[in-house]
């Protein structure tokens, strides 16, 4: 099990396919603030609500020189449908092999109605222009989350 990431740690680098058709390499975003949010599944109620709140607030993120990246295990095809259906205006990253999920410690054992299974813990990492983690949000509650993230960037 990797060490849990904390504020002040260097954000682990990864290179993964994205909805733009190009791979996203985190280290290439240095010089910008990055909102890296991990979510369980495209087009499910909580994930849709979270994505739409980032979509609606994107101009505010742009104003603080921040890039929003959504990460899930879904395929690029699934991401393309999700983006089209909800008019999402930011990049979604496909982490089918769980590379980023494991680097960031978001692939966790969960329990639902007494049944244990592995899945993505809804988490957000705010990464500063220097490539260091400014803020970590674990077990994110969707309502008002984009506002918390904006405050962490302020």
Which residues are designated catalytic?
47
- CA 15/CA 27 separation, integer angstroms: 9
DSSP state of 73: S
Taking residue 47's Cβ as centre, other Cβ atoms within 10 Å add up to 21
What is d(CA 120, CA 132) in angstroms, rounded to the nearest whole number?
22
In sequence order, which residues have a C-beta less than 8 Å from that of residue 62 and are 6 or more positions away?
none
Spatial CA neighbour of 137 closest among 154, 151, 116: 151
Per-residue tokens: 124: 């957000």
Distance of CA 64 to the CA centre of its chain: 17
């Amino acid at each position: 099990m990797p060490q849990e990431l904390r504020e002040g740690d260097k954000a682990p680098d990864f290179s993964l396919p994205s909805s733009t058709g190009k791979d996203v390499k985190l280290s290439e975003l240095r010089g910008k603030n990055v909102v890296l949010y991990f979510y369980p599944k495209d087009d499910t109620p909580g994930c849709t609500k979270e994505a739409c709140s980032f979509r609606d607030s994107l101009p505010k993120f742009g104003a603080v020189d921040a890039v929003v990246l959504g990460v899930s295990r879904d395929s690029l095809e699934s991401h393309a449908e999700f983006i089209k259906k909800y008019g999402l205006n930011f990049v979604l990253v496909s982490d089918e092999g769980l590379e980023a999920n494991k680097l960031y410690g978001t692939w966790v054992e969960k329990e639902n109605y007494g049944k244990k299974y592995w899945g993505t813990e809804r988490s957000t990492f705010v990464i500063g222009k220097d490539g260091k983690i400014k803020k970590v949000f674990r077990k994110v509650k969707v309502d008002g989350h984009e506002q918390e993230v904006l405050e962490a960037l302020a």
